[in-house]
Chain A
Amino acid sequence: MNVILMGLTKHFPSKNKRSKEVVVAVDDLSFEIPDGQLVGLLGPSGCGKTTTLNLISGLEKPTAGSIFFGKDDVTTVPPEMRGVGLVFQNYALYPHMTVLQNILFPLENLKGDKKLSKEEMLKRAHDAADLVQITELLERKPAELSGGQQQRAAIARALVKMPKILLLDEPLSNLDARLRLQTREELRRIQRETGITTVFVTHDQEEAMSISDMIVVMKDGSLNQKGRPQEVYDDPVNLFVAKFLGNPPINVFRGEVRNEKLFIGQEAVMDAPLYPNGPVTVGIRPEGFVPNDGGRFTCGLVGVEVMGRDTSVVCSHPEFEGASIRAIVSSENNVDASKKTVVFDLKPNKVFLFDVDTGRRLRPGRGSR
Chain B
Amino acid sequence: MKKSGLKAWLYLLPSLIFLGFFMVYPLVDVLVYSLEEGYNSASQTFSGVGLYNYAYVLRDPYFLQAVKNTFILVIITVPVSTGLALLISLGLSSIGKLRELFRTIYFLPYVTNTLAVGLVFMILFKKTPYTDGMVNMLIGLFGGKSVDFIEGPYWAKMFVLCFYTVWIVLPFKILILTSALASVNKDYYSAARVDGASGFRIFARITVPMISPMLFYLIITGFIGAFKAYSDSVALFGTNLNAAGMNTIVGYIYDMLYGDSGGYPSYASAAALILFAIVFTITVINLFISRKKVNA
Using CB atoms and an 8 Å cutoff, list the residues of chain A in contact with chain B: 57-59, 78-86, 88, 90, 92, 94-96, 105-106, 109-110, 157, 161
Query: Is the Cβ of B209 less than 8 Å from the Cβ of A59?
Result: no
Residues of A within 8 Å of B201, CB to CB, are 109
- A96-B210, A96-B295, A105-B205 are known contacts. Are A80 and B197 too (CB-CB below 8 A)? yes
User: What is the distance, in angstroms, from A57's C-beta to the closest C-beta of chain B?
Assistant: 6
Q: Is B108 an interface residue (CB 8 A)?
A: no
- How many Å lie between the Cα of A94 and that of B187 in the bound state? 10
Query: Is the Cβ of B191 less than 8 Å from the Cβ of A161?
Result: no
**B164-204 CB contact bits vs A (8 Å, 1 = yes)?**
00000000000000000000010110111111111001000
Q: Is B206 an interface residue (CB 8 A)?
A: yes
- 17 residue pairs bridging A and B, Cβ less than 8 Å apart: A59-B193, A79-B193, A79-B194, A80-B193, A80-B195, A80-B198, A82-B194, A88-B187, A88-B191, A90-B187, A94-B188, A94-B209, A96-B212, A105-B205, A106-B196, A109-B201, A161-B196
Query: Is the Cβ of B193 less than 8 Å from the Cβ of A105?
Result: no
User: What is the distance, in angstroms, from B100's C-beta to the closest C-beta of chain A?
Assistant: 14
Query: Is the Cβ of A59 less than 8 Å from the Cβ of B190?
Result: yes
- How many Å lie between the Cα of A110 and that of B132 in the bound state? 55
- A80-B198, A109-B198 are known contacts. Are A96 and B209 too (CB-CB below 8 A)? yes
- How many Å lie between the Cα of A84 and that of B196 in the bound state? 9
Query: Is the Cβ of B194 less than 8 Å from the Cβ of A57?
Result: yes
User: What is the distance, in angstroms, from B209's C-beta to the closest C-beta of chain A?
Assistant: 4
Residues of A within 8 Å of B192, CB to CB, are 94, 105
Closest B residue to A90 by beta carbon equals B187
Number of interface residues of B (CB under 8 A): 19
Partner among B188, B194, B212, B295 whose Cβ is within 8 Å of the Cβ of A80: B194
Residues of B within 8 Å of A81, CB to CB, are 196
User: What is the distance, in angstroms, from A138's C-beta to the closest C-beta of chain B?
Assistant: 17
- A90-B187, A92-B185, A92-B188 are known contacts. Are A84 and B205 too (CB-CB below 8 A)? no
Residues of B within 8 Å of A105, CB to CB, are 192, 195, 197, 205
Residues of B within 8 Å of A109, CB to CB, are 195-198, 201
Using CB atoms and an 8 Å cutoff, list the residues of chain B in contact with chain A: 185, 187-188, 190-198, 201, 205-206, 209-210, 212, 295
Residues of B within 8 Å of A85, CB to CB, are 194
- How many Å lie between the Cα of A90 and that of B186 in the bound state? 12
Residues of B within 8 Å of A88, CB to CB, are 187, 190-191
User: What is the distance, in angstroms, from A119's C-beta to the closest C-beta of chain B?
Assistant: 20
- How many Å lie between the Cα of A82 and that of B197 in the bound state? 12
User: What is the distance, in angstroms, from A167's C-beta to the closest C-beta of chain B?
Assistant: 9
Residues of A within 8 Å of B197, CB to CB, are 80, 105, 109
- A105-B205, A109-B201 are known contacts. Are A92 and B196 too (CB-CB below 8 A)? no
For the complex, would chain B's binding face be called helix, strand, loop or mixed by DSSP majority?
helix
Residue of B187, B193, B212 contacting most chain A CB atoms (<10 Å): B193
Residue of A90, A96, A157 contacting most chain B CB atoms (<10 Å): A96
Among all A-B residue pairs, the 3 with the closest Cβ atoms: A96-B295, A109-B196, A106-B195
Residues of A within 8 Å of B190, CB to CB, are 59, 79, 86, 88, 92
- How many Å lie between the Cα of A80 and that of B194 in the bound state? 5
Query: Is the Cβ of A92 less than 8 Å from the Cβ of B191?
Result: yes
User: What is the distance, in angstroms, from A162's C-beta to the closest C-beta of chain B?
Assistant: 12
Residue of A84, A85, A105 contacting most chain B CB atoms (<10 Å): A105
Residues of A within 8 Å of B193, CB to CB, are 59, 78-80
Residues of A within 8 Å of B212, CB to CB, are 96
Query: Is the Cβ of B194 less than 8 Å from the Cβ of A86?
Result: yes
Closest A residue to B194 by beta carbon equals A86
- How many Å lie between the Cα of A88 and that of B190 in the bound state? 9
Closest A residue to B196 by beta carbon equals A109
- How many Å lie between the Cα of A304 and that of B25 in the bound state? 83
Residue of B190, B198, B210 contacting most chain A CB atoms (<10 Å): B190
- A80-B196, A157-B195 are known contacts. Are A92 and B295 too (CB-CB below 8 A)? no
User: What is the distance, in angstroms, from B210's C-beta to the closest C-beta of chain A?
Assistant: 7
- How many Å lie between the Cα of A80 and that of B195 in the bound state? 6
- How many Å lie between the Cα of A94 and that of B195 in the bound state? 12
Query: Is the Cβ of A84 less than 8 Å from the Cβ of B295?
Result: no
Residues of B within 8 Å of A157, CB to CB, are 195
Partner among B191, B194, B196, B210 whose Cβ is within 8 Å of the Cβ of A110: B196
Closest B residue to A154 by beta carbon equals B191
User: What is the distance, in angstroms, from A329's C-beta to the closest C-beta of chain B?
Assistant: 47
Residues of A within 8 Å of B210, CB to CB, are 95-96
With A157-B195, A161-B195 known, 5 other A-B pairs at CB within 8 A are A83-B196, A92-B190, A105-B192, A109-B196, A109-B198
User: What is the distance, in angstroms, from A12's C-beta to the closest C-beta of chain B?
Assistant: 14
Query: Is the Cβ of B191 less than 8 Å from the Cβ of A86?
Result: yes
Residues of B within 8 Å of A79, CB to CB, are 190, 193-194
Residues of B within 8 Å of A106, CB to CB, are 195-196
- How many Å lie between the Cα of A322 and that of B209 in the bound state? 54
Residues of A within 8 Å of B206, CB to CB, are 94
- How many Å lie between the Cα of A110 and that of B190 in the bound state? 17
Residues of A within 8 Å of B209, CB to CB, are 94, 96
- How many Å lie between the Cα of A105 and that of B189 in the bound state? 13
User: What is the distance, in angstroms, from A107's C-beta to the closest C-beta of chain B?
Assistant: 9
Residues of B within 8 Å of A94, CB to CB, are 188, 191-192, 205-206, 209
